Structure 1
Amino acid sequence: MLYNVLDLIMWILAICAFGMSAWALIHAIRSPARAFAVAGKQTKKMWLIILVLATLFSFMAAVGYFGIGLGQLNIFAIASVIASGIYLADVKPAVSEVGKGGNSGPYGPW
């Protein structure tokens, strides 16, 4: 009974890792390439490669491709969470700020 509960928890964590990686990948796809350079981050192409691999590995962990049963977290799934976390915590806020005008008031730009 205990192993079933732990397997369920690991599967939920793997699904959350996949969702986090997919969210980061979608944001990177929708962001303009110029914003990465202006923010002083790696290029958009580099982040897309990293996030596609992270999404792929987290998806494979969620469907149980690597091990016996569902949700076996491994080193690749953990690395995908780290890569997605770095993107969401550091790159996403910097890239999102590019292009926003600093002269906007409470009802729009002046």
Structure 2
Amino acid sequence: MLREGFDLGITLVVGLFFLVFAVVSFVFAAMAREDAYRAADKQTKKFWLIILGINLVLNLVLDMLFLQIAGVIAAIVFMVDVRPALKQVSGGGRRGGSSSDGPYGPYNGGR
């Protein structure tokens, strides 16, 4: 009996994580500009919104772990590969400066 409650708790936490990750990846995909997808040489914005939207709907409607895992893999691909490319093309992630800038200004090698 205790094990059944524990298994249900873990399943609930994993399902909630999958749902939150699906929502976050869908929102990031929707916020990016269409031309950034083309400039980054990734699939179109429409493609990613469809894939991540299906993932989101599957997480909300179905409780099939296999389909949820497939959707999470698609969301991971977006977050690890596509999103950084979109940020780089859009100029995000860096606020100017050179590669030798530290947190308190440029690093000049102790000179």
Alignment TM-score > 0.5, same fold = yes
Give the equivalent residue in structure 2 for 1:85: 76
> What CA distance in whole angstroms lies between the structure 2 residues aligned with 1:40 and 1:54?
23
CA contact (8 A) 1:33 1:44 kept: yes
CA RMSD of aligned residues (A): 2.0
Instruction: Identify unmatched segments of 5+ residues in structure 2.
Output: 106-111
Of residues 43, 54, 65, the one that matches 1:74 is: 65
Is 1:25 matched up with 2:17?
no
CA contact (8 A) 1:15 1:59 kept: no
8 Å CA contact 1:28, 1:47 repeated in 2: yes
Aligned in 2, Cα 1:88/1:103: closer, same or farther, shift over 3 Å? closer
1:95 corresponding residue in structure 2: 86
d(CA) in 2 for partners of 1:19, 1:104: 32
Deviations 1:76-101 (A, max 9, x none): 11111111111111101101111218
Q: Which residue of 2 aligns with 1:12?
A: 13
Match of 2:96 among 94, 99, 104: 104
Question: Number of residue pairs matched?
Answer: 97
Q: Find the structure with the greater CA-based Rg.
A: 2
Normalised TM-score (structure 1): 0.80
- TM-score (norm. length: structure 2): 0.79
Instruction: Tell me what 1:69 maps to.
Output: none
**Shift of the alpha carbon at 1:103?**
8.7
Gaps of at least 5 residues in structure 1 are 67-72
% of aligned pairs identical?
A: 27
For 1:53, the equivalent position in structure 2 comes to: 54
Are the counterparts in 2 of residues 36 and 43 from structure 1 also a CA contact under 8 Å? yes
Q: How much has 1:74 moved relative to structure 2? A: 1.9
CA contact (8 A) 1:20 1:81 kept: yes
